[in-house]
Amino acid sequence: MDKKDIGIKKNRVLISALLILVALAFIITFIFMWWEYASQDKYKYYSENAIEVEATITQYGIHYHGQDRRDWDVWTYYEYESNWGTVYTMHHGTYSTEQEAKKHIGEKVKIYIDPNSDWSSDVFPVVNYERALRNAIIWCFPVPIVLYLLIYRCIYRNVLNKKIKKKVYGSSYNNDRIIHTPLPNTVTQGEVTKVVKWLVCYVKVKYQDENGATREKWAQSWFTHKEAKFLQQKRTINIVPYKNTYGILEELSTTK
């Protein structure tokens, strides 16, 4: 028979790491989408000034993927020298073998060049301000949500739980693996009055705060369905009032 911590002592390393990764993914995508929108001015310039010319595929090279250099493919490159002396070269095709890439050496391909720089492309630049702006705006909506989850659910909750645990076990408390005895008058009883179940569960508790006033508040922690069911069935649970909030201090018995 093992016991699993519920509430302030629960290990949140996994969910914290997950929230950090999700937040980074959304923020990076958000920045990229606005960068893409800002880049439309550049694409507009190229679309208005690009000149269509004929280049020649002159060389190929092996392109490795990753540091282990086990995965690779073969790239061909075109080259074009303008009348004003600028040499334009860029990756054109991707092939699985050198023999296949060699077959394309000497081929003529249509490309577009900027006469005022060394920019070139084998695809005509397309400008779409509306689509780029729409995508950028769409990615604005999830960013505040993931930032809330990261700042409140990850950073703030971990800091608050650490403060509550130090109140219960003393300022020397720094390791959840050590068995500690709660200090006198730090743990009290609360009554579970409501449970809301969704992807995660929320628990509402009636309790007396540090000033003796009766309060009824939602616990600021997330709970699994199993944890919420346990708290609801137990009804009277151990909590730790702390300033204007509280932490739940319970253990769920599990059988291996």
- Indicate the pTM of the whole model: 0.66
Provide the pLDDT confidence category of residue 255 given band limits of 50, 70 and 90: low
CA distance 233 to 28: 44
Q: Per-residue pLDDT for 179 more than 90?
A: no
Q: CB of 176 within 8 A of CB of 161?
A: no
Q: CA distances (Å), 124 to each of 46, 50, 55, 88, 112, in order?
A: 9, 8, 14, 15, 6
CA distance 23 to 27: 6
pLDDT tens-digit series, residues 190-240: 999 999 999 899 999 999 988 889 999 999 888 999 999 999 999 999 999
CA distance 143 to 15: 18
CA distance 205 to 85: 78
What does the pLDDT read at residue 204?
96
pLDDT tens-digit series, residues 106-149: 999 999 999 999 999 999 988 999 999 999 999 999 999 999 99
Structure tokens at 168: 């219960």
